[in-house]
Amino acid sequence: MLLQIKDLHAGINGKEILRGVNLEVNAGEVHAIMGPNGTGKSTLASVIAGRELFDVTQGDVVFKGQSILEMPVEQRAREGIFLGFQYPVEIPGVSITNFMRTALNEIRKYRGLEPLSGAAFLARMEEKKKLVEIQTKLTNRSVNEGFSGGEKKKNEIFQMAMIEPTLSILDETDSGLDIDALRIVANGVNALRSADNAIVVITHYQRLLEYIVPDIVHVLYEGRIVKTGGKELALELEEKGYEWIKKEMEGR
């Protein structure tokens, strides 16, 4: 098993947001986590990535057989966890090329590998740029600075492709995308699916799941996973709306 989340409770400033999340993800699987706004989807992504803003009060997150709760953010990343950001931040003056080169070399160093040669790095850049249909013009620009919503999200998937993570968590990657960008982003993600890695797609809408077809769909509601099913669950949600979940929960 790649990722195992056990009874995870976490919050911010004493306010509990995750209230006992259980989740198991195996290599080769694509999971979708859906749910209404403010239900803890992004918090879950941040906690797995290790953002210190959030306090974990109970439970455990186990990645590749070891608990990662004590690991700093960069170590989790080097172990193979990737977070595609909902709101990627701008880093003025730092080109995507330079940023990726630094990141890849840090990750390789952690794994006891030599830095990539300049030629090998550039070849990898070229290959991965095609995947998400981005131009050299863009990778020479500062990270996310002045990017459109679509460019930012493509850049996230580009970085995911460069890093080749074992576990990718894509937080609302579909938000702010027009249909063309959505298709490009989804194609990129699909190309990266393999038997060795896993992808967790966090989304509010079913729309993205038409392009990235999940193996398993979870519904997160008020800090807990309240429903798990196959890809048809997403369609059911789309049809009935989140009101359906709310009612069902209140009826309990």
Partner 1 sequence: MANEPNNILQEVTQSEYKYGFVTDIDTEFAPKGLTEDTIRYISAKKQEPEFMLEFRLKAYHRWLEMKQPDWAHLSIPAIDFQNIYYYAAPRKKPELESLEQVDPELLKTFEKLGISLEEQKRLTGVAVDAVIDSVSVKTTFTETLSKLGIIFCSFSDAVKNHPDLVREYMGSVVPSGDNYFAALNSAVFSDGSFAYIPKGVRCPIELSTYFRINAANTGQFERTLIIADEGAYVSYMEGCTAPQRDENQLHAAIVEIVALKDAEVKYSTVQNWYPGNKEGLGGIYNFVTKRGICKGNNSKISWTQVETGSAITWKYPSCILMGDNSVGEFYSVAVTNNHQQADTGSKMIHLGRNSRSTIISKGISAGRSNNSYRGLVKITKRAENARNFSQCDSLLLGDRCGAHTFPYIQAENKSSVVEHEATTSKISDDQLFYCQQRGIDSESAIGLIVNGYAREVLSKLPMEFAVEAQKLLSISLEGSVG
Query: Shortest approach of partner 1 to residue 72 CB, angstroms?
Result: 7
Per rule CB under 8 A, is residue 110 in the interface with partner 1? yes
**Interface pick for partner 1 out of 74, 126, 127, 196 (rule CB under 8 A):** 74
Binding segment for partner 1 among 60-68, 96-104, 127-135, 205-213 (CB under 8 A)?
A: 96-104
- In the block, tokens 């990343």 appear at 77
Looking at beta carbons only, is 159 or 206 nearer to partner 1? 159
Neighbours of 179 (CB within 10 A): 9
Q: What is the total count of residues that contact partner 1 (CB under 8 A)?
A: 32
Per rule CB under 8 A, is residue 99 in the interface with partner 1? yes
C-beta separation of 63 from 7 below 8 A = no
Looking at beta carbons only, is 36 or 88 nearer to partner 1? 88
Per rule CB under 8 A, is residue 102 in the interface with partner 1? yes
Looking at beta carbons only, is 1 or 12 nearer to partner 1? 12
- Please report how many Cα atoms fall inside a 13 Å half-sphere around the Cα of residue 144, on the Cβ side: 16
Report the relative pairing of strands 198-203 and 167-171 from DSSP bridges: parallel
Binding segment for partner 1 among 48-56, 177-185, 199-207, 238-246 (CB under 8 A)?
A: 48-56
Per rule CB under 8 A, is residue 98 in the interface with partner 1? yes
Looking at beta carbons only, is 51 or 64 nearer to partner 1? 51
Phi, then psi, of 180 in degrees rounded to 5:
-70, -45
* Residue among 65, 26, 29, 25 at smallest CA distance from 45: 25
Looking at beta carbons only, is 22 or 142 nearer to partner 1? 142
Q: How far is CA 150 from CA 87, 130, 190, in A?
A: 11, 16, 17
C-beta separation of 214 from 30 below 8 A = yes
Q: How far is CA 189 from CA 102, 158, 161, in A?
A: 23, 9, 8
Q: Contact residues for partner 1 (CB under 8 A)?
A: 49, 51-53, 55, 72-74, 77-78, 82-83, 85, 88-94, 98-100, 102-104, 106-107, 110, 142, 159, 163
